Amino acid sequence: MSKVTERTQTEGGRETLVSVENLKKYYGGEGMFADPPVKAVDDVSFEIRRGETFGLVGESGSGKSTLGRTLVQLERATEGRVLFDGRDVTTLSGDELKQWRRNAQMVFQDPESSLNDRMTIGEIIMEPLSAHGWKTKQDRRERALELLSEVGLQEEHYYRYPHQFSGGQRQRIGIARALALEPEFVVLDEPVSALDVSVQAKIITLLEDLQAEFDLTYLFIAHDLSVIRHICDRVAVMYLGKIMELGETGELFESPANPYTQSLLSAIPRPDPTADRQRITLPGTPPSPRDPPVGCQFSTRCPAKIYPEEYDDLSDDVWDAIERFREVVRERSRQELGLVDQARLRLGLFSKYDDIDEAVADLFGGLDAPEAVTDAIESAREQVKAGNPDAAREALFDEFNGICDRERPVLQGVSDSGQQSYCHRHAPEYEPPETVLQRRSDDE
């Protein structure tokens, strides 16, 4: 870890601007009877260097937007620190916070909602300046006009209302507003994903030009890998509130280390068709952030998951069926039973979960599973039918838990250039992810 940190400071001569340390953002979960909290961002650490574009990619619900919002203090961190130029900004409040806000601005995803329709463009762009009592009204006006031309709009747009603009133009206005206070750091929260493809490229170019002109540092949030690849210097891949992999963009795209990144990248068309990487389709859906896996966040869907040694000989198909079955049981255990169902349960009339039979038949029908497996599945099935999916879930966990189920991996360096990945398979005793994925996909 320390080795990696050292390198980030020397390499390219770029110093750290934003340093995120063990940041957590949980929603809800306070009070004795509350549901468990939603862990939107769950213990994340990384650094953003001055002048770079740091990409943050992930599916919706991965916590990437929450992370971005927490960095600009739109959300209060539950735990952890955000050091901006070495200063912890999560503890700022009042005037100090307001002063600091000048340094960190945000561009929002939806250009329809990010501008107040009842204000003219001039008013919108001037507002941050007025809020900070920036010079005189005359100067603010000049600055707004200047910003309009910086973002490729005309001066006569000053007196128009947002309704009179297209999505791309509105996004330009949003960018002008974010730049008004001359921030060092700008969070771009999916700035182009709501726009037409033809407009996307123009906005990206504009952002790049502005970065060069004003020495901006970007955090670029996206779910679209191709955009990230184009604009970002370094990328972090998020899944369920956790950074799965982080590294230089080129390297990460060329040789992804983490199974999650590999499956993501396998989905985008590759420039080099001879490279034999097969498309990996992830089974199932991401688990609820209220109830994340105990071990690796990706363990419920990971195609490279480490299985327990006792079951070394199981075929991939059987494993797949087991994992899907566990997912079904997990779903059941999350449901709250209504009063009627609880009464039925007491009376032995409970039948709500009888469809578990079908699931078992679907998943294991035609599979040649060893007895130990079928026994475990059978008893879990019984327990679910008896209205006790929690116990079934526990039992399945005990029976099939490998290290991925039990323990959280650590984000560790996997290359000389600072690439880091969050996976048990990088430990020497396990087969590395790429070979496993290669083998498992070849088997199909």
Q: Which residues contact other proteins by CB under 8 A?
A: 69, 72-74, 97-99, 101-102, 104-106, 108-110, 113-120, 127-128, 131-132, 137-138, 141-142, 145, 155-156, 158-161, 163-164, 174, 177, 180-181
Q: How far is the CB of 79 from ligand SF4 (least distance, A)?
A: 23
Q: Which of 38, 36, 57 is nearest to 46 (CA)?
A: 57
Choose between 103 and 297: whose C-beta lies nearer to ligand SF4.
297
Rg over alpha carbons for the chain, rounded to the nearest Å, is 25
Choose between 156 and 368: whose C-beta lies nearer to other proteins.
156
Q: Of ligand SF4, other proteins, none, which one sits near residue 101, judging by CB under 5 to 8 A according to partner kind?
A: other proteins
Q: How far is the CB of 50 from other proteins (least distance, A)?
A: 21
The contact set with ligand SF4 (CB under 6 A) reads 258-260, 296, 298-299, 302, 304-306, 404, 409, 423-425
Q: How far is the CB of 129 from other proteins (least distance, A)?
A: 9
CA angle 45, 2, 430 (to 5 degrees): 80
Choose between 188 and 436: whose C-beta lies nearer to other proteins.
188
> H/E element holding 244?
strand 242-248
DSSP letter for 347, please. Answer: H
* Cα separation, 301 vs 265, whole angstroms: 16
Which tokens is 342 given? Answer: 């609880």
Q: How far is the CB of 241 from ligand SF4 (least distance, A)?
A: 14
Q: Of other proteins, ligand SF4, none, which one sits near residue 302, judging by CB under 5 to 8 A according to partner kind?
A: ligand SF4
The conformational region for residue 338 under phi > 0 = left, psi -120 to 50 = alpha, else beta, is beta
Choose between 97 and 427: whose C-beta lies nearer to ligand SF4.
427
Q: How far is the CB of 159 from ligand SF4 (least distance, A)?
A: 54
Which tokens is 360 given? Answer: 């078992």
Q: Of ligand SF4, other proteins, none, which one sits near residue 106, judging by CB under 5 to 8 A according to partner kind?
A: other proteins
Q: How far is the CB of 292 from ligand SF4 (least distance, A)?
A: 12
CA angle 20, 111, 105 (to 5 degrees): 30
Choose between 242 and 332: whose C-beta lies nearer to ligand SF4.
242
Q: How far is the CB of 46 from other proteins (least distance, A)?
A: 21
Choose between 7 and 137: whose C-beta lies nearer to other proteins.
137
Q: Of ligand SF4, other proteins, none, which one sits near residue 373, judging by CB under 5 to 8 A according to partner kind?
A: none
* Cα separation, 184 vs 436, whole angstroms: 43
Choose between 106 and 322: whose C-beta lies nearer to other proteins.
106
Q: How far is the CB of 308 from ligand SF4 (least distance, A)?
A: 12
Contact 170, 114 (CB under 8 A): yes
Specify the long-range contacts of residues 422-428, CB closer than 8 Å, at least 24 apart: 422/242, 422/243, 422/244, 422/245, 422/258, 422/296, 423/244, 423/257, 423/258, 423/259, 423/296, 423/304, 424/296, 424/306, 425/259, 425/304, 425/306, 426/257
Q: Of other proteins, ligand SF4, none, which one sits near residue 64, judging by CB under 5 to 8 A according to partner kind?
A: none
Q: Of ligand SF4, other proteins, none, which one sits near residue 272, judging by CB under 5 to 8 A according to partner kind?
A: none
Place of tokens 């250009």: 111
Q: What is the DSSP string of 366-399?
A: T----HHHHHHHHHHHHHHHTT-HHHHHHHHHHH
What residue spans of 132-196 are helical by DSSP H? 137-150, 167-179
